Structure 1
Amino acid sequence: MSFTKLSVSVLALAAVSATAAAARDQISIVGSSTVFPYTQAVSEQFANNTGSPSPIVESTGTGGGMRIFCNGIGEGFPDITGASRAMKASEWAVCEENGVTDVTEALIGFDGLSLAVSRANDFDWDLSLSEIYLALAAQVPVEGEWVDNPYSKWSEIDSRLPDTDIVVLGPPPTSGTRDAFVELAMHVGCEELEYVQEGGFDGDWVEENCSRMRTDGPFVEAGENDNLIVQRLDSDPNALGIFGYSFLYENLDNLKGVNINGTEPTIDTIADKSYPVSRPLYFYVKNAHRGVIAGLNEFVEEYMSEDALAPGGYLSERGLVPLNNERRAELQERVMNGVAMEAKTE
């Protein structure tokens, strides 16, 4: 693959050239903690192949990464941000305000939002989405009333579950993993409740009333570093954790996945969509920085390589579920040619 000449505004290129070429010789990357291990793997391969300095990769969370990425162009701003959801219209508006308008979006593959527990926990975990909602939501139905969540033990939700305290470690509100978990697990789990179905509540009601995680103790915000959740699960066999599948995949010696609706999180179940909580992963690159920031073109080329993205590639070995051949080829052509994304309107 080769890069075609990118159409970059003269002012944008001048702004970058005046600062970045002289002041920064390392690629700067921010964003999702879920995408972080994949980008880190590409960074290591890029450095090994080229002898260039390894890019600086910071795990800031998807929302935090978007804010930093969209603040402007030039050496003081990152070249790429990773995301565990698509860019929002509100984030694109900030990009536009700051002149960050020539951006390429890359959907690199898929990931499962895994619940996991220590292998020292001998319970055969299998939760429904409605049980997950009842354990973690700020408000739930009790005896026909919508009230603050009273449940402190799993057995209070269903007698087949352990008589242990509910302790679930998960991401903060700035995380794309949190956004995806709320949308794919909490909203769907809420919709499955008899109270919601019999009440005839629509999606707007669910979004307004079922999006808040509880703040009274059972749900613990563990920051943007998913490795800290892994460490906590090692030390507390009764705690559950929420993170991207790659972190479960890399720690299967110590952790086991929690089945959801009878389905175990695996590469195969995420790929065939039988695992109910899966989402796409992205990165975004500033085309104004290509050809100006040293090594950025080559780094993007490595990220788009078959060695990285194809089935059996080094990213799938770390838990990424690859795109099919047709979608992957379209992605590679579009990203390598620097095709700008369309404005986000919703």
Structure 2
Amino acid sequence: MKPLAVSTIGLAAVMAASIGTAHARDQVRIVGSSTVFPFASYVAEELGATTKWPTPVIESTGSGGGMKLFCEGNGLDTPDITNASRRMKPSEFERCQENGVTDITEAMIGYDGIAFAQSNKNDDAAFTREQIAMALLEQVPVDGKLVENPYKMWSDIDASLPEREIRVYGPPTTSGTRDAFEELVLEAVTEEMEAYGNEGYANLRKDGAYIDAGENDNLIVQKLENDTDAFGIFGYSFLEENSDKLVGSNIDGVAPEPDAIGSGEYPVSRSLFFYIKNSHADDVPAMADYVDLFMSDKMLSDLGYLKGIGLIPLPQAELEELQTSVAERKKLQLSDLK
């Protein structure tokens, strides 16, 4: 098999060359999640190495950015597939429908945990979701009122936490990882604060404690190597890949480990997906072989290749059910997303 070397390129520029044409093409075009990118890249390299088709072009745009491109229309200048580290939102589905993208199949591929990690040069650290939220929320409760976040040091929140400045590198608003982190950590905590009557309480602070580090999770890894006082937020697969440099923190007493992520015991776990634009099936014949390969036991089972690079596999019975659904190109409905 060829080395895993799918490059992230300017997909928009490549697509521009085909605008205004309706000619079939051999190369699958994919956008979306940086978390799903390593798994999609592995499948793409395998397709290029073992079939007559060229290696698909993949761009890591973030889940939200990928959905936006995917839903622009049915023309062959739009992506065939978009990856997502969270489920498609109803608003995204409706945008697709408005633009004529009405035949979509959802493919769930497995699970991933969101790691809260730091340089392994530090002592291990453990947090509750509430402590993380108190560090990163724009507004927090103090003396019965919501106020601008006053915490500068982790130890200001709890004396048991590191005596280090609060500085967290994380993904941007277009990222599915950001969406999942906000839902599973911030919203889970702030649901209990509804009595304060402030709808903005789930916003991340903007005073430098949370640093938008872009869509490339490897850049966050590099930041943590150089900034050993900081923490970073990214998918578990990047933690496993860099276990010689980084260590993940326990959250609510549970370590970010495969069994805990797959069972849901680890509280910041989420499902991973890709979405197929079925209107491109005839004009992009390679897409069917790519999808079949991605959904195969060879890739997704407990003995599959993708487990080796950090994907947490689905239970076999659930995988078989999803394989059938995708093989039949089950049409996604708005009701599925609510």
Identify whether the pair has TM-score above 0.5, normalized to the shorter chain.
yes
The match for 1:99 is 100
Distance in 2 separating the partners of 1:173 and 1:55? 26
Determine if contact 1:20/1:293 at 8 Å carries over to the other structure: no
Q: Deviations over 1:185-237 (max 9, x none)?
A: 11223346xxx3xxx739xx68x333200000110011111110011011111
Q: Decide whether the 8 Å contact of 1:137 with 1:149 is kept in 2.
A: yes
Corresponding residue for residue 43 of structure 2: 42
The one-letter amino acid paired with 1:21 is H
State the match for 2:121 in structure 1. Answer: 120
* Structure 2 residue corresponding to 1:219, chosen from 188, 193, 210: 210
For 1:239, give the aligned amino acid.
Answer: A
Question: Which AA in structure 2 matches 1:130?
Answer: E
Map 1:62-73; keep pairs closer than 5 Å.
62-73=63-74
Distance 1:134 1:108 in 2: 33
Moved more, 221-230 or 137-146: 137-146
CA distance in 1, matches of 2:93, 2:162: 45
Counterpart of 1:181 in structure 2 is 181
Deviation at 1:324, TM superposition (A): 1.0
Look up the SS of the partner of 1:281 in the other structure. strand
Conserved in 2, the CA contact under 8 Å of 1:132 and 1:189? no
Equivalents in 1 of 2:249, 2:22: separation in Å? 46
Matched AA of 1:73: N
270, 273, 278: which one aligns with 2:264 = 273
1:71 and 1:98 in contact (8 A); partners too: yes
1:231-250 equivalence runs, <5 A: 231-250=222-241
* 2:220 aligned residue (229, 234, 238): 229
In 2, the alpha carbon distance for the partners of 1:72 and 1:94 equals 10
Q: Secondary structure of the residue that 2:319 maps to in structure 1? A: helix
Q: What is the CA distance between 1:142 and its match in structure 2?
A: 1.6
**How do 1:308-323 residues align onto structure 2 when only pairs under 5 Å count?**
308-323=299-314
SS in 2 for 1:117: strand
Q: 1:125 to 1:191 in 2, by over 3 A?
A: farther
Distance in 1 between residues matched to 2:191 and 2:319, nearest whole Å = 34
Aligned with residue 250 of structure 2, among 240, 259, 275: 259
Question: Number of paired residues?
Answer: 319
Q: Deviations over 1:280-328 (max 9, x none)?
A: 1110001111132141111111101111000021111111111111111
AA at the equivalent of 1:37: P
* Residue pair 1:233, 1:241 contacting (<8 A) in 2 also: yes
Unaligned runs of 5+ in 2: 1-17
Structure-1 residue corresponding to 2:277: 286
**Offset from partner CA, 1:8-32 (integer Å, 9 cap, x none):** xxxxxxxx9x93534x431110011
Q: Distance in 2 between matches of 1:254 and 1:279?
A: 24
1:299 and 2:300 correspond: no
| Partner residue, 1:79 | 80
Task: Provide, for residues 19-58 of structure 1, a one-character-per-residue CA deviation record: whole Å limited to 9, x for no partner.
Answer: 3534x43111001111111111111111111142211111
Q: Which residue of 2 aligns with 1:131?
A: 131
Distance in 2 (CA, whole Å) between partners of 1:201 and 1:320 is 39
**AA at the equivalent of 2:171:** P
Give the alignment's Cα RMSD to 1 decimal: 1.8
d(CA) in 1 for partners of 2:247 and 2:37? 21
- So what's the TM-score if we normalise by structure 2? 0.90
Instruction: Check if 1:201 corresponds to 2:201.
Output: no
Distance 2:21 2:291 in 1: 21
Amino acid at match of 1:66: M
Paired letter, 1:119? N
Contact 2:124–2:247 at 8 Å: present in 1 too? no
Percentage of identical aligned residues: 50
Structure 1 residue identity aligned to 2:146: W
1:279 maps to a residue whose letter is R
Structure 1 counterpart of 2:257, one-letter code? T
- Going from structure 1 to structure 2, the CA distance change for 1:245 and 1:173 (only over 3 Å counts) comes to same
Q: 1:257 offset after TM fit, Å?
A: 0.5
Q: Which amino acid counterpart does residue 148 of structure 1 have in structure 2? A: E
TM-score, structure 1 length as denominator? Answer: 0.88
Q: Residues of 1 paired with 2:284 and 2:249: CA distance?
A: 43
